[in-house]
Structure 1
Amino acid sequence: MSENIFYTKAAKYWANVPATINGVLGGYEHISGIDIKGSKAFLNDILSLKNAPGTELALDCGAGIGRIAQYLLIPVFDKVDLVEQEKRFLSVAKRRIGELHERLGSLYNIGLQHFTPKKKYDVIWCQWVLGHLNDIDLIAFLVRCKKALNTNGVIVVKENITASEEIEYDDEDSSVARPYKLMQLIFKEANLELIKESVQDGFPDDIYKVYLFALVPNDLDKKAFVLAS
């Protein structure tokens, strides 16, 4: 499949998805609370690092209708920026987070393959969206994110991971699920160091295993990133 078809097909799919939690989660609205709970625990661990990232500015990548921003990031960070290619979703996100508007930052209506962060972020959160990028664009995107990290900044990736050693393609939404080893190779190619990983608990058996990865530029002293005692 050509690059253009891959991205165009995904855009058409999301243009027809209801702008609801059940819609953006593909009918799995019932796992949203479990998902947020697991993400909160992972984020709390990151914020307990000896040289922890700050809590001034976060970026939610593939933000959808703002579910992660609203329930995970905005309670923690002073400002949260959103990047999302489906304009309808951003409009709903702005409306959903209305009462917390002072913490809602910039909204970027663009696909991640074209997005270059212009600010310095303490945490860049990427969840259930990187499967919509091909390998080359994903590496390039992570490199751009790495350059946009503030002091002690961290990139978090939360994605489906295949049980096989093969890439698995979803023809419906034009996305891929990658095997663990390929994700590690992509992180290495982007010059990122894995400092923490976890597997999301409590999800149904009929969906992919979901991993959380915390990544920092690998030119930093890895020894500085130890959990505070």
Structure 2
Amino acid sequence: MGDIAENETSFYSNAEGYWKEVPPTVDGMLGGYGSISSIDINGSKAFLQKFLGEGEGKTGTSCALDCGAGIGRITKRLLLPLFNTVDLVDVTQEFLDKAKTYLGDEGKRVGKYICNGLQDFVPETGRYDVIWIQWVIGHLTDDHLVEFLRRCQKALRPNGLVVVKDNVSYEGVVPDEVDSSVCRDLEIVHSLVGRAGLRIVYEEQQMNFPKEIYQVHMLALR
């Protein structure tokens, strides 16, 4: 990956430039695949609910963080219904501004709107039961992803979880020049998670997505 992002600065600034041009809508967030939003949310909910609840080793529901939150699609339909408070972090201020209206009345349970790239973002220590990272790890270099996951681990409450949901390539690292990102295969994702000192508690593939898009996997990490 080092070779791809020879110029790390342009890797990040090109991505910021790309997202600045994207309309602040669900379709914009999903690159024209707005129609898959419900399938995506239902898959995520079934995955997450395996861990939540009362009892030994269960993950709490007081506070969640939505990473690369955009206009708050996941916050609105997945996280706010399950958690008391949700924080949003995204690199594009316009999306966060839009989230304030898009989230409607439930938006008053948002704790913080944070405008920051994940490569620089330091989540508050011990604040979160769940840190949800979806369709955004491709915007981080390998080293930055490892460092970010380490910071996420410190930001968890007892029995907290980091969830990564993202595209996986069949083999190797596939660059996307359009939005200045990469898609990694599962083996590479696993090795980066290991480097960050996290273990995979559970993993599954999101089903029922269109055939022509990448496979999407969900990994619960602690």
TM-score, normalised to structure 1, is 0.92
Contact kept in structure 2, 1:57 and 1:122, CA below 8 Å: yes
Q: Distance in 2 between matches of 1:189 and 1:52?
A: 25
- Aligned runs of 1:1-229 on 2, under 5 Å? 1-47=6-52, 50-119=56-125, 120-164=127-171, 166-216=172-222
Gaps of 5+ in 1: 217-229
RMSD: 1.0
Q: Distance in 1 between matches of 2:162 and 2:192?
A: 14
Q: Distance in 2 between matches of 1:7 and 1:97?
A: 28
Q: Give the SS at the match of 1:9.
A: helix
Q: What is the CA deviation profile of residues 190-212 of structure 1, one whole-angstrom value per residue up to 9, with x for unaligned ones? A: 00010000100100010000000
Q: Distance in 1 between matches of 2:33 and 2:124?
A: 33
Tell me the matched-pair count.
215
Deviation at 1:156, TM superposition (A): 0.2
Q: Distance in 2 between matches of 1:211 and 1:18?
A: 26
TM-score, normalised to structure 2, is 0.95
Deviation at 1:50, TM superposition (A): 4.0
Q: Give the SS at the match of 2:199.
A: strand
Gaps of 5+ in 2: 1-5
- Matched to 1:47, the amino acid is L
Q: Distance in 2 between matches of 1:101 and 1:4?
A: 33
Query: Where do 4+ consecutive residues of structure 1 move more than 6 Å?
Result: none
